[in-house]
Amino acid sequence: MLTKPCLLLFACPGDKGDTVVYWRGEARAARKDDPVVKLYGALDTAIAASHKAANVLPRPQSRVMRLIAFSLMELGFYLATGRAEYLDTATALYKRALKKAYSTAPEEPLRSWIACASPECSAVDEARVWIRWVERRATSLEGTEVVVKLLNQLSNLAFEVMRTLPHIEYRHRPVV
């Protein structure tokens, strides 16, 4: 049995560019170009990219990226329902990921830009970029300050994972 029987009738919701979106516990009709719909689209992509990165990484980096993905999912539940327990869970997952990342962080401080030098590092970078994109989308909506802060922390955490993977350090030297 199909999850969406409407597929057989060519009549699924959203066929005309509209949909129903859940925001802070309320269902409302929206166009596909609505800022909330765009936020959820970016969030879906960030979650998928984080899982993709987790699938190609060794432990403990894979676990960090999986926890980031789950934290993003909980943030989505929070945005849809407005229920604080989802935000609390998202934050707790972030803290677990942070603890794992801290245990593998390089000793030396970063003094340059980095460019990925492996498919694994690039997968993490892709997830990081999408998390930043979600952050930008969330910033455009009122009442999302706490979400924006956590998204910023999650993208920074993904960057820390990148530092543990093969990369090239790029140091800009000014021309004099």
CA distance 107 to 128: 22
The structure's pTM equals 0.90
Please compute the mean of the pLDDT values over residues 41-55 and round it to a whole number. 98
pLDDT, averaged across the chain: 92
Higher local confidence (pLDDT), 7 or 139: 139
Q: Length of the chain, please?
A: 176
The fold for domain 35-169 equals Hypothetical Protein Ta1238; Chain: A; (1.20.1200)
Whether the predicted pLDDT of 162 surpasses 90: yes
* Amino acid identity for residue 122 in this structure: S
Q: Which residue from 72, 82, 64 is spatially nearest to 158, judged by alpha carbons?
A: 64
Would you kindly state where each structural domain of the chain is located, as residue ranges?
35-169
The upper half-sphere exposure of residue 146, i.e. CA atoms within 13 Å in the direction of its Cβ, equals 12
Query: Taking residues 138-159, what's their average pLDDT?
Result: 97
The alpha-helical segments, DSSP class H, found in the chain are 6-9, 35-56, 61-81, 84-104, 119-139, 145-163
Residue 140 burial (CB count, 10 A) = 12
Q: Which residues of 96-122 are buried (b: 16+ CB within 10 A; e: fewer)?
A: ebbebbeeeeeeeeeeeebebeeebbb
